[in-house]
Structure 1
């Protein structure tokens, strides 16, 4: 792999609270999924993979972008299945580290992604998490030595158990803005659209 950092955009969620596939919601003249993926693509010296469901309309959003599509057929079993699908691919392509990014956070600042990617590496403790005004959030980065443990995650808790278990290896990337909002409900989506137009 010529780019040692792999950015995993998790986009296989079932959108139960939204009532329709949130990955296809319009944001900034394109779909939410495409909008977030294009932010990930701004990070220098990184490859991008999208972990999605089998929904063909979602895959079509990325067909003309330089990304790999990883299909998660077990999305109904929680976020851990998307992480494991992405980490399995990361191992196959010999990625040195991964950055896990949520596909439903359009307010994510590309500068945060690039800053974290640049800071992670030589001398790193192995895990780096964004922290917004003191509150931990995404993205989260992991050195490849944590891949075996990431592959053992279960349920819908994401990587929290691993972060807690290895708190001594976790460093934070502090950001002086609020945590980017997850668009999980119609109300959150409408509020995001209104606030972005102001």
Structure 2
């Protein structure tokens, strides 16, 4: 009987771990309400500034909002990113909106391959980490504060994910208590 309870406890713990891990994924709309476009008004760092206060984790999703036929999203090497070279992309999406799952740690570099768009700032470079990470803002900064350029609450990880995690954990804890 004790072995059965132990096996059930281990199973519930493993299931709870999977549920909690899956709730960490966030979806980010690149550029928030600006979307993915070449109209950066001379701000060639628009997208990198947008990304600066975000912690991208493996499993997160980037959503590039653009009209099909107007833009592309190409993942490129760092050298091609720096030179706006679209001749040899790792991957390219031509249909908008484009969703890209961040499935590994490390640097990701994205550009628009439409001639002239990358050079006016339609490019994004991010670093992806394993999570969770400390998301506390640095002193003097206020990421995603209302009125902050590039801050849109929809670009932050959803609080629904946290609620799902808490509810799932509570249900699994109740089941564990009933089984034991």
What's the TM-score, normalizing by structure 2?
0.28
**Structure (1 or 2) with the larger CA radius of gyration:** 2
Q: Which has the higher strand share?
A: 1
Greater RCO structure (CA 8 Å; 6+ sep): 2
What's the TM-score, normalizing by structure 1?
0.27
